[in-house]
């Protein structure tokens, strides 16, 4: 089993998205559903961290970045085999440019 950790940027992005949905869009139920779905899918990474595809970038990366969609967002993560850890790097709306990971 792998330990799953959120990097501060990813935690902040997820929180901001939920707050936006809850307050600006007046949809607290949708915000809660998003948080629950992200949590459910992220927890599954502890058993199967390689189940999602690699995100291919136009430039070289030191690590393989993987991603999966959750509603209108993408969760980007890296598997650190040496530490048996999955690091959640980013949580971006699908219209945002992820090439600045």
Is residue 101 scored above 60 in pLDDT? no
pLDDT at 97: 75
List the domain boundaries for the chain: 3-96
Strand segments, DSSP code E, in the chain are 3-6, 65-70, 73-80, 85-93
pLDDT at 90: 96
Architecture of the domain delimited by 3-96: 2-Layer Sandwich (3.30)
- Per-residue pLDDT of 1-49, as tens digits, reads 999 999 999 999 999 999 999 999 999 999 999 999 999 999 999 999 9
- Dist CA 84 CA 60 (whole Å): 23
Q: How confident is the model at residue 98 (pLDDT cuts 50, 70, 90)?
A: confident
């Amino acid at each position: 089993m792998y330990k799953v950790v959120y990097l501060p940027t990813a935690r902040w992005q997820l929180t901001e998205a939920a707050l936006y949905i809850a307050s600006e869009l007046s949809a607290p139920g949708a915000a809660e559903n998003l948080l629950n779905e992200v949590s459910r899918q992220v927890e599954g990474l502890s058993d199967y961290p390689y189940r999602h595809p690699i995100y291919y970038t136009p430039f070289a990366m030191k690590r393989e970045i993987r991603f999966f969609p959750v509603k209108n967002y993408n969760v980007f993560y890296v598997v650190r085999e040496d530490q048996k850890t999955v690091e959640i790097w980013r949580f971006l709306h699908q219209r945002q440019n992820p090439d600045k990971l």
